[in-house]
Amino acid sequence: MEIELVQGDITTRDVDAVVNAANSSLLGGGGVDGAIHRAAGRELLEACRALRQGEYRDGLPVGEAVATGAFNLPAQWVIHTVGPNAAAGQTDPELLRRAFANSLAVAEELGAATVAFPAISAGVYGWDAGDVARTAVQAVRDHRGTGIERVEFVLFSERVLQAFRAALAESGD
């Protein structure tokens, strides 16, 4: 599986699936979550409300992932995942790994060949960008599915991009 690093806006990526660093409510928020909701349009909020009325009445648990359509985005699907919030005491690296791994599993189930990820939990959730980068790269490397051909890490800042470059170099890429 090919891994690419891109500095830019995840909402403009021409991929099969975009991963949303969602909050548990699935109803939008700040950062990547807010940007994806704004760009996808009101239909995304309605799709997320439907999830909240069904299986996710109590919200999406940390580390889990679920998909909706992408509506006005170039992608076909949005995969919502909730990363751990270090600022709220959620510091178990396994929770972070699961957010990436479960998103990949959902992408595989959807038949997505290309997936764009943000730096889940590296923003207001307070995780160190280097820790997020190493966890993300390892989760992609460990993914055993065969359908995903390319993963893009779409990173907003130069600082986070550098952290992902270092993680890729450490992993031998």
Domain residue spans of the chain: 2-170
Strand 77-82 to 17-22 pairing: parallel
Q: Kindly report, residue by residue over 155-172, the tens digit of the pLDDT.
A: 999 999 999 999 999 998
Say what the pLDDT of residue 53 is. 96
In percent, how much of the chain has pLDDT > 70? 99
Helix/strand/coil for 171 = coil
- Looking at residue 23, its pLDDT comes to 94
Query: Residue 173's pLDDT is what?
Result: 63
Q: Which residues are catalytic?
A: 33
pLDDT digits (tens, 9 = 90+) for 47-74: 999 999 999 999 999 999 999 999 999 9
User: Can you list the residues of the chain whose pLDDT is less than 70?
Assistant: 173
- Determine the pLDDT at residue 129: 97
Q: CATH number of the domain at 2-170, please? A: 3.40.220.10
Kind of pairing between the strands at 65-69 and 77-82: antiparallel
pLDDT of res. 146: 81
Q: So what's the pLDDT on residue 120?
A: 98
Q: What does DSSP say about strands 150-155 and 2-7: parallel, antiparallel, or unpaired?
A: parallel
Going 3 to 86 to 7 to 45, the CA torsion angle's sign is: positive
Q: Specify the pLDDT at position 172.
A: 80
CA dist., res. 55 & res. 18, Å (int): 21
